[in-house]
Amino acid sequence: MNLPYHPAKKEDLHHLGIEQVDESSMKERTLDLLDEFRKFARSFSVMLETCTRCGACAKACHSYLGTDDFNNLPAARAGLLRSIFARYFTWSGRLFRGFAGAREFDADTLDTWASYFYQCTVCRRCAVYCPCGIDTGEIVLAGRNILLRMGIAPSFLVTIGRNELQTGNNSGILKPAIIDSCSFLEDELRDETGIDIRIPVDKPHTEVLFLPSSSELFTNVETLLGAAKVFHILGVDWTLSSVMLEAANYGLHFDVEILKKHDRRMRTAAAAVGARHVILGECGHGWRAARMYAEGANGPVPFHLEHVLDYVAKRLPELNLTRLPLRATLHDSCNYGRGTGLLDSPRQIVKACVEEFVEMSPNRERNFCCGGGSGLLMDEMHDLRMQFGKMKARQIQALQPLDYVAAPCASCKAQLPLVLKHYGMGATVCGGVMDLVGKALVMEEMKAP
């Protein structure tokens, strides 16, 4: 296979309970899985059968606009699966085949799926512009799930999936390293503020379980420090969990079973510390997985679930913030803007923290993707990701000079600095919304509960 990523090895797939399908059985197994998906979700069949190929999605897709590859046009990408679906599961495809847009399953079928279903960041912007409301991202995710069960997936995602199942975080960080990192960050906070601000781990009988991104313990530390300062000022009884260190749930990107299992881990982690309130940090897909899929995956959620930006926006009057001398904009993460409607809270916060706030155009649910979402943050896909990020770069370029791009999503924080550098805007800083809060917050002794 000529893939844009390193495929997972047989032994790595085995950790997820996946066995590679023998070549002689690939057609039969693929069609069985496709049949399972169409029975599992009627919406899947409806979206496959509804597309009129009007082309409205062409100008909406950053992948197509960045690569000029026909198969990255959303309707064409979905058509790679739609043509097989039509041939074997519709009467018109069985009778008229080519006339009905149907195609025989052949040796190239899985190769093209494996390549192009991982050149879509599942941003779902195409669904906003589609006159029929077809969500090509959902078709892509179904295709990725089918591919995994055939034994085809990026090594990057399989490794992360294994880490999440084994350790509760995508980096495979064990408890001693978590505690050591939090201790180091507490020292940093003490040196900066002169105040003893704790970052507790596995604190029992606590009110709030906080699930940040695991990157906040090592790379995006300012995001976690900002949250810790806010919790301290507000007198919140909170903790991290070594059972589930972070919000990220990579099962959303390629394996519904991992999504379900990692969601159950969140429930276990909350119960272990007695938390009745779970706050998720700056992880776009993590928030979407929890907010939109947790109940469907494992039943009613036994605690109050909230995003840190909604939480902080409601408590802004209680925080003493100074406006930083910055000209800043907000990048609406796809999984916030189009996935969960988290649009107003980050704006309220950024406006309270900077002297000048400017909007990208377009913005909110019509904003362009950063080009690195849905698990595509693989080194081997760097060049493609820069092409995917071309439209985002144009948005940011139009706002120059610009000091700060607020990106409240760990994947966006990893992708955007590379995009800015690639397109000649390396002087513009990219960081989280909670980073700004931490810098703008005037620290004082903890208020009485």
Residues 204 and 250 in one domain: yes
Residues 216 and 270 in one domain: yes
Identify the DSSP state of 209: E
State residue 52's pLDDT score.
84
Of 282, 314, 346, which one is at a domain's C-terminal end? 314
How far, rounded to the nearest angstrom, does the alpha carbon of residue 151 sit from its chain's CA centroid? 23
Residue 405 lies in a domain: yes
Residues 199 and 285 in one domain: yes
Residue 1 lies in a domain: no
Where residue 47 falls (left for φ over 0; alpha for ψ -120 to 50; beta otherwise) is: alpha
Residue 7 lies in a domain: no
Q: What is the mean pLDDT of each run of 10 residues along the chain (449 residues)?
A: 92 92 93 90 85 90 97 95 91 70 89 97 95 92 96 96 94 94 97 96 98 92 98 97 96 96 96 98 96 95 98 97 98 96 98 98 97 96 98 98 97 97 95 97 65
Coil, strand or helix at 314: helix
Residues 211 and 286 in one domain: yes
| Number of separate domains in the chain | 3
Three-state SS annotation for 22-46? CHHHHHHHHHHHHHHHHHHCHHHHH
Residues 288 and 339 in one domain: no
Of 93, 118, 152, which one is at a domain's C-terminal end? 152
Three-state SS annotation for 315-355? CHHHCCECCEEEEEEECCCHHHHCCCCCCHHHHHHHHHHEE
Identify the DSSP state of 15: T
Residues 176 and 236 in one domain: yes
Of 97, 121, 152, which one is at a domain's C-terminal end? 152
Residue numbers of the domain that contains 275: 164-314
Residue 342 lies in a domain: yes
Residues 330 and 426 in one domain: yes
Residues 323 and 426 in one domain: yes
For residue 12, count CB atoms less than 10 angstroms from its CB and return exposed for 0-12, middle for 13-18, buried for 19 or more: middle
CATH of the domain at 96: 1.10.1060
State residue 39's pLDDT score.
87
Residues 334 and 390 in one domain: yes
State residue 445's pLDDT score.
58
How far, rounded to the nearest angstrom, does the alpha carbon of residue 332 sit from its chain's CA centroid? 12
CATH of the domain at 205: 3.40.50
Q: Kindly report each contact of residues 324-327 with a partner whose C-beta sits within 8 Å and lies 24 or more positions away, as own/partner.
A: 324/353, 324/354, 324/355, 324/436, 324/439, 324/440, 325/355, 326/354, 326/355, 326/356, 326/403, 326/404, 327/354, 327/355, 327/356, 327/358, 327/401, 327/402, 327/403, 327/404
Tokens of 301: 């959620």
The maximal CA–CA distance of the chain, rounded, in angstroms, is 76
**How far is it, in rounded angstroms, from Cα 269 to Cα 206?**
12
State residue 45's pLDDT score.
86
